[in-house]
Structure 1
Amino acid sequence: MPVTPPRPHDTERAQAVVRLVIAPLATGYMLWTYHEAMLTEQATWLLVSASSLFCVASLVLWLDIARRPGNRPRRRLFAVLIDYSCITVTLAFGGEAMLPVYAILLWVTVGYGLRYGSRYLLLATIAALGSLALTTSISAYWQAHPLLVVTLLLTTVVVPAYMNALLKRSRLSAEAERAANLAKSQFLAQASHDLRQPIHSISLFTACLRDGTLDAEQGRLVDSIDKSLHSVSRLFRSILDMYSLESGRVAPQVETLALHTLLQQLVQQNTEAARWAGVEVRLHCPPLQVRADPALLSTMLQNLLSNALKYAPGRPVLIGCRRREGGVSIELYDQGRGIAKRHLDSVFEEFYRVRQVRDNDVEGMGLGLAIVKRLGDLMGLEIRMRSEEGRGTLVAIDGLQPVQVPVVASPAVKREPLAPRMLDGLRVCLIEDDDNVRTATASLLQKWGCEVETYASIPHAARPFDLLITDFDLGTEASGADCIAYVRQLRGRDIPAVVLTGHDVGRVQAAVNDAVIPVLSKPVHPAELRSLLVALRLEQPAL
């Protein structure tokens, strides 16, 4: 994962702390040289006094940095002044006994370059040369050893010059890396959008076929297409999730959420995948509310459930919630073949897969659990795993913070079985600039009983409708947010809307700037879209 460079005030504060540590050590060295009769009493008191003043100035600097953090050039110039003044006094009046202090001078000079860049390295080098020149003009010892002076002057020039060359090369490498990362980000963002579109349209076309009249063989073929598409979609999402985590762009947006509702949606979205695997997913969760990022938590649970469906086919999977050690835990238990103990410490590593006999047909890249671990760390959650070969595996997400909010009981109405007929007569305005996606979406909506009017961009003149479904990215002319604003203004009311996107959902939600408008990430599962449309219609019976 990329390392975040230290902030300027952190660097200055660290430098101030170093001064506070070095000053007492230098004072101790001076007193030792006096004890060993290497310094006169007069020189010792002069150097100890200079070191004490340096200590006071360093403390003032540290307090000012703590009070007023940030890049303040005047404060840095003051730091340069006190550093080289104290070193000059020490070298000039300490004679031979203080020659080791030259190492501090060189260290301080190089340190300014490493901390603040080439300009400060040049300034520090000039200050160091000035310090050596002033020392030579004062010290009789230095005047008596001209070759020593020349050696130190050359060292003071050569070492910073070489360091400057390294800094320049490092800067060029960093710029090249930033450019490469930017190009990679742009490529992946565009590839993400472009790859989501065909996956999304194939998914919708497959749903259209499934809703048609098919014989047994045709049904099996559609199932095979759907399974392959589901696998591609999961792999694609895993790669993008891992890239987002590596780039450091994922930041938790914590909110209060109903845990049972989130888990119910997870089970519903995986109905087809569970059917293909021959797995019955059982859910036991009391009406709890917790604080978490719903999108990140859903991604974690999706990866855990996908693993259970892959590695425990034909066996039931249990998802349960319970209070544990003051928090709430979500536990997922399968009755698959289990994992050997020697693998348990490695399964959360990237690309690590537990390979067993007759295991070649199990798809995946070994990223699912690594993503779960990374997301858990971001939200301060613990991932717990227990497994026994031949009996199954338990994976738990611990540490969710419960919220004491009264939960309103949901009406005892099973909405999903009514979904196919609940959309009859719903007038939908569909805005999508991709021809295949537009055709597939319109066909599916019509099979559900909707009356659909399609557009490639802003519908400047459209018949009355009940609901707006729009892609977010509609080229250079407009965005989905523009379409929603224009249509609502045209109709004089807040028409319910749904946004579909192949881009980052968080960025699109911020652009739409309306918490009521749901944003779905492509490829959208048809069951998810249908459930959302039914829910919107039930919330607004006038539709």
Structure 2
Amino acid sequence: MRLILLPLFDIYFVAVLGSGGLETFGEWLTVIAVLAYIPVSVVLLWHIIRKPGHFVWRRMLAMMGDYGAMTIAMAVGGMVMLPVYATLLWVTVGNGMRYGSRYLLVATCMALASIAIATGVNVEWRNEPYVVLTLVLTTLIVPAYIDGLQRALRGALNEAQEASLAKSNFLAQASHDLRQPIHAISLFTACLRDAGLGREERQMVENIDRSLQSVAGLFRSLLDIATLDSGKVEPKLAPIRVGEVIADVVRQYSEMAQWADVELRAVPCSLVVRTDAALLSTMLQNIVSNALKYAPDAPVLIGCRRRGNTVAIEVHDCGPGIPSEHLDQVFNEFYQVRERGDRDVEGVGLGLSIVRRVGALMGLDVRLFSVSGRGTSVVISGLERCNETVAAVAPAPTRTPSAVSGLHVLLVEDDEDVLLATATLLQKWGCIVQAETGIPEVAADWDVMITDYDLGGKRTGADCIASVRKLAGRMIPAIIVTGHDETRVLKDLGDDSVPILAKPVRPAELRSVLTTEVVTQHR
């Protein structure tokens, strides 16, 4: 703004003062002072760009320069320079609005000093005492009023932030607490599926499981929003094969795709990008989940495109599309596209909001394109390509109950319903289970431990793993099952090699981890 206003001031000074030929030294001094302040402003702007942030000395230097230039103009120019006062008041209020009450007080004192100096030097101003009094009162009243409004605004903002924090805490706690019974029901359902039921009964169990997965998806969305609101999510960038992340998402949603009668396909991709694999997976999960819900009975395709030194991931569906009037709002929290007569769709409208917010954390751009009657495309662009070599992940072994048969499992869970459900399921798979509601004190010949994160008594799954390994005298393979955010648990655990499963855990997912992460090590 200085670089814009200073040349305009010079034009005004030369036009007004120069009409008489710039005869006095003071008139020349005014024009020279404003011209000299231009390079100073350039240096200030360069320093701000190079080192952004809060520097008291820099702010004070800029304020002294601003008020110094305006003081010289008002002192030398007489009544014809009175319009400069409008800028002086604007600068005073602006400093207070940007930097707070203390700077507003300092700026107001500088403004009063400018008026006092201009009045002392300028005879025309002294001859108009009521004009000077008006300037002084305005300089006092306007900033005081602005300060009062700012204090009220800060109070309202603090209340809004506290309400938002309370909402986030409630969502996180409710999501965590409700996951426990859902997790237990999911495991009991898996036990029922293997209980030799008839065809009709098995279909009922499948319907129950399908409904449970819908509820689980809702809880995941609520926990994701609460975690993002907490401001504790920090991307951990590392080279990954983007094709493997996509393939993993396709595997996770293959069953849901079958329920929706959707052909879910991914174009193979060998590109390596630098990103956070877990956060990228979260984005894709929400996009694919939306496609399966809003575009059933139609194919969904996931693929990648090279864009210079970056990679874009695209998800296309052939569903009914989104009407144009909704496109500007679909990324808002809790917004759902609803038309008269539409069928009910599960969820609360958080998926795309999570996608946009997670993308912003990683510096990715998320765009949505849709044509009514032809389908919708979501594009995640800005993934940085890298040339580092990443080892390909070996294909997981077949997920059969016999693969874990005979394992000695230490199961630690403080919720008795979840403990019973998990132990029953493991026993049906042929495991030998020692079920505990707390950390055991006597060692046994365990092959693997599965522990909840919250164990009561200020003990966590991380404490359990450390204690059991110390008790056994060896690095027993471990799995943590939790209803908390994975980032929080991983930070407390400090060990990337321990798998973390989010409640409610699908039995197939638990069996897969036992097979790939534990059985392999055991053998």
Please report the TM-score for the alignment, with normalisation by the length of structure 1.
Answer: 0.84
Q: Which amino acid aligns with 2:165?
A: L
Summarize the alignment of residues 49-448 of structure 1 with structure 2, pairs less than 5 Å apart: 49-55=32-38, 57-59=40-42, 61-62=44-45, 65=48, 70-242=53-225, 244=227, 250-279=233-262, 281-282=264-265, 284-285=267-268, 287-311=270-294, 313=296, 317=299, 319=301, 321=303, 323-325=305-307, 338-339=320-321, 342=324, 345=327, 348-350=330-332, 351-353=335-337, 355=339, 359-376=342-359, 378-381=362-365, 383=367, 385=369, 389=373, 400=383, 404=387, 415-417=397-399, 419-448=400-429
Provide the residue aligned with 1:531 in structure 2. Answer: 512
Is the CA contact 1:470–1:500 (under 8 Å) kept in the aligned structure 2?
A: yes
Is the CA contact 1:446–1:452 (under 8 Å) kept in the aligned structure 2?
A: yes
Unpaired runs of at least 5, structure 2: none
**Separation in structure 2 between the aligned mates of residue 408 and residue 54 of structure 1, nearest angstrom:** 59
Provide the residue aligned with 1:520 in structure 2. Answer: 501
Task: Please list the CA deviations of residues 74-130 of structure 1 after superposition, one character each: whole Å capped at 9, or x if unmatched.
Answer: 444444433333332322221111111111221221122112211121122222222
Task: Please list the CA deviations of residues 475-517 of structure 1 after superposition, one character each: whole Å capped at 9, or x if unmatched.
Answer: 3421111211222222222211111221111121121111111
Is the CA contact 2:108–2:139 (under 8 Å) kept in the aligned structure 1?
A: yes
Count of aligned pairs between the two proteins? 519
Is the CA contact 2:172–2:223 (under 8 Å) kept in the aligned structure 1?
A: no
**Separation in structure 1 between the aligned mates of residue 254 and residue 7 of structure 2, nearest angstrom:** 70
**Separation in structure 2 between the aligned mates of residue 329 and residue 62 of structure 1, nearest angstrom:** 35
> What is the SS of the residue equivalent to 1:36?
helix
Task: Please list the CA deviations of residues 182-226 of structure 1 after superposition, one character each: whole Å capped at 9, or x if unmatched.
Answer: 222222221221122222221111112112221223212212211
Is the CA contact 1:339–1:387 (under 8 Å) kept in the aligned structure 2?
A: yes
Task: Summarize the Cα distance change of 1:494–1:541 in structure 2 as closer, same or farther, 3 Å threshold.
Answer: closer
**Separation in structure 1 between the aligned mates of residue 391 and residue 105 of structure 2, nearest angstrom:** 68
Task: Please list the CA deviations of residues 424-448 of structure 1 after superposition, one character each: whole Å capped at 9, or x if unmatched.
Answer: 1111112222222222112111111
Which 10-residue stretch deviates more, 448-457 or 159-168? Answer: 448-457
Q: Which amino acid aligns with 2:105?
A: L
Task: Please list the CA deviations of residues 407-461 of structure 1 after superposition, one character each: whole Å capped at 9, or x if unmatched.
Answer: 76776x87224x2101111111122222222221121111111112122232222
**Separation in structure 2 between the aligned mates of residue 97 and residue 468 of structure 1, nearest angstrom:** 85
Among 459, 469, 482, the residue aligned to 1:478: 459
> What is the SS of the residue equivalent to 1:469?
strand
Provide the residue aligned with 1:7 in structure 2. Answer: none
Task: Summarize the Cα distance change of 1:86–1:263 in structure 2 as closer, same or farther, 3 Å threshold.
Answer: closer
Please report the TM-score for the alignment, with normalisation by the length of structure 2.
Answer: 0.87
Is the CA contact 2:267–2:304 (under 8 Å) kept in the aligned structure 1?
A: no
Give how far 1:141 is off. Answer: 0.9
Give how far 1:276 is off. Answer: 3.1
**Separation in structure 1 between the aligned mates of residue 421 and residue 504 of structure 2, nearest angstrom:** 12
Which 10-residue stretch deviates more, 132-141 or 518-527? Answer: 132-141
Task: Summarize the Cα distance change of 1:337–1:382 in structure 2 as closer, same or farther, 3 Å threshold.
Answer: closer
- Once the two structures are aligned, what percentage of the paired residues are identical? 46
Is the CA contact 1:348–1:373 (under 8 Å) kept in the aligned structure 2?
A: no
Is the CA contact 1:376–1:383 (under 8 Å) kept in the aligned structure 2?
A: no
Task: Summarize the Cα distance change of 1:515–1:145 in structure 2 as closer, same or farther, 3 Å threshold.
Answer: same
Which 10-residue stretch deviates more, 220-229 or 68-77? Answer: 68-77
> What is the SS of the residue equivalent to 1:468?
strand
Provide the residue aligned with 1:492 in structure 2. Answer: 473
Is the CA contact 1:287–1:407 (under 8 Å) kept in the aligned structure 2?
A: no
**Separation in structure 1 between the aligned mates of residue 66 and residue 291 of structure 2, nearest angstrom:** 63
Is the CA contact 1:501–1:520 (under 8 Å) kept in the aligned structure 2?
A: yes
Cα RMSD between the aligned structures? Answer: 3.3
> What is the SS of the residue equivalent to 1:428?
strand
Among 428, 437, 455, the residue aligned to 2:436: 455
Give how far 1:392 is off. Answer: 6.4
**Separation in structure 2 between the aligned mates of residue 322 and residue 58 of structure 1, nearest angstrom:** 46
Give how far 1:374 is off. Answer: 4.8
> What is the SS of the residue equivalent to 2:409?
strand
Task: Please list the CA deviations of residues 285-344 of structure 1 after superposition, one character each: whole Å capped at 9, or x if unmatched.
Answer: 2555443332233233323433444355556x464545545565655565x654377579
Is the CA contact 1:244–1:250 (under 8 Å) kept in the aligned structure 2?
A: yes
Task: Summarize the Cα distance change of 1:81–1:269 in structure 2 as closer, same or farther, 3 Å threshold.
Answer: closer
**Separation in structure 1 between the aligned mates of residue 403 and residue 426 of structure 2, nearest angstrom:** 12
Which 10-residue stretch deviates more, 20-29 or 124-133? Answer: 20-29
Q: Which amino acid aligns with 1:339?
A: G
> What is the SS of the residue equivalent to 1:460?
coil
Task: Summarize the Cα distance change of 1:323–1:93 in structure 2 as closer, same or farther, 3 Å threshold.
Answer: closer
Q: Which amino acid aligns with 1:191?
A: A
1:29 paired with 2:29, answer: no
> What is the SS of the residue equivalent to 1:540?
helix
Is the CA contact 1:23–1:55 (under 8 Å) kept in the aligned structure 2?
A: yes
> What is the SS of the residue equivalent to 2:450?
strand
Task: Summarize the Cα distance change of 1:165–1:443 in structure 2 as closer, same or farther, 3 Å threshold.
Answer: same
Q: Which amino acid aligns with 1:415?
A: P
Among 48, 51, 54, the residue aligned to 2:31: 48
> What is the SS of the residue equivalent to 1:71?
coil
Is the CA contact 2:448–2:518 (under 8 Å) kept in the aligned structure 1?
A: no
Give how far 1:47 is off. Answer: 1.5
Task: Please list the CA deviations of residues 114-155 of structure 1 after superposition, one character each: whole Å capped at 9, or x if unmatched.
Answer: 122111211222222222223222221112111111111111
> What is the SS of the residue equivalent to 1:474?
strand
Give how far 1:528 is off. Answer: 0.8
Is the CA contact 1:425–1:451 (under 8 Å) kept in the aligned structure 2?
A: yes
Q: Which amino acid aligns with 1:207?
A: A
Which 10-residue stretch deviates more, 27-36 or 503-512? Answer: 27-36
**Separation in structure 2 between the aligned mates of residue 107 and residue 332 of structure 1, nearest angstrom:** 50
Task: Please list the CA deviations of residues 253-297 of structure 1 after superposition, one character each: whole Å capped at 9, or x if unmatched.
Answer: 332333454344334333443443345545552555443332233
